[in-house]
Amino acid sequence: MSDTAKLVIDGTEADKKLTNDIAVIEYTDNDEYHADDLQIVTYNPAEWYGKETIEYTITDNDWHEISKAVEMKCGTFNIDCIKRDDISGLYVIKAAAVPPGSTARQNKKSKAWERINLKELGQQIAKQNGLNFLYATELNPIFKRKEQIEKSDILFLSELCRATGLFLKFTANTIVIYNPYEYAEKEEKRTYSNGDANIQGIELKKQKNDTNYKKCRVTYLDPITKEKIEYIYKKESEGKMLDVTRKVSSTEEARLTAIYAIREKNGKEYCGKMTIDGDKEITTGTVIKINGFGEHDGNYLVKKAIHTMRTGTYTTRIFFEKVAEGNNG
């Protein structure tokens, strides 16, 4: 394998003098609620003072020994600070991802959306902000009325997604909406078995608190009309009930909310973290399979991936939660 890091600083590719002084580059691929970030550890900070942006790409010129270059375009980052580590004497450059469609994230709006499904709403928001749009799920909730009150387009859209079990993520100037729980029945991208040589370390946990729900009840009482909407999702007929009070506009929306809520809670029962040989195809939202670890076996959703390059080595550290399966309610 021949992994290389490419840095473009303020529009100009970094020269060897600058890159030779770098000890570590660490890229964190976060979920929608946390900005992706980049940390660079260097022996010589002089070349970095006054710089503003970094574009970072990881390239493997001999991916899986098939002589095919594979790139992981990590994005563009704004330099936040440069500080000295007192223990090592090295300097740490911290940078946060430049969010595509920043106006969609920053400009607050107030608007009422009526008789519209999630896909149409996302398409309109993307078009208004000059962004591309990908709707990668079969679920398409319909809303009678949703009010966007002093919220940015992305925050509003993200809240709608999460309330019905869907995820929103930016990638390459594109809004992507997807359903990670549909992946439970799809083929995983990678399988990691007990004893695999590429596993450098693994920690698996089983949590008992606030998990293992068998049923979920969603209720909402409209304060004006006094209309009550209620739906009970039953994964099994007997067992612990999860109660959720949340504003919903229809029984169908309540059903989707119930399915998502119980899957999110139950998914946290089995979780873990693992360090593997560097793999550019492991990103947030990827489904992996754990095998040979007893009751922990199954499909897991990657919640965060940290790609670290040091001199001569490339590793990926992943944090994951089990994909909770279930019927459609």
Residue 285 in domain: yes
Nearest Cα neighbor of 178 from 191, 192, 193, 165 is 165
pLDDT in tens, 217-238: 999 998 888 999 999 999 888 8
pLDDT at 38 over 70: yes
Residue 328 in domain: no
Residue 328 DSSP code: -
12 and 144 assigned to the same domain: no
Residue 124 in domain: yes
63 and 108 assigned to the same domain: no
- Work out the average pLDDT over 152-157: 90
Asked which of 121-125, 154-158, 178-182, 286-290 is least confident by mean pLDDT, the reply is 178-182
- Which pLDDT value is given to residue 184? 58
144 and 195 assigned to the same domain: no
Dist. CA 117–CA 208, nearest whole Å: 36
- Which pLDDT value is given to residue 68? 52
Dist. CA 328–CA 21, nearest whole Å: 54
**Contact by Cβ (8 Å): 167, 159:** no
**Contact by Cβ (8 Å): 98, 71:** no
Q: Please count the structural domains in the chain.
A: 4
Q: How many CB atoms lie within 10 A of CB 5?
A: 18
User: Burial, 103: exposed, middle or buried (Cβ in 10 Å; 0-12, 13-18, 19+)?
Assistant: middle
- Which pLDDT value is given to residue 167? 84
Name the band, by pLDDT with cuts 50, 70 and 90, for residue 64.
Answer: very low
Q: What's the predicted TM-score (pTM) here?
A: 0.81
Mean pLDDT of the chain: 87
Q: In the listed set 97, 127, 143, which residue is the last one of a domain according to the structure?
A: 97
pLDDT at 101 over 60: no
173 and 188 assigned to the same domain: no
25 and 41 assigned to the same domain: yes
Domain that holds residue 261: 215-267
Residue 154 in domain: yes
Domain harbouring 173, CATH code: 3.55.50.10
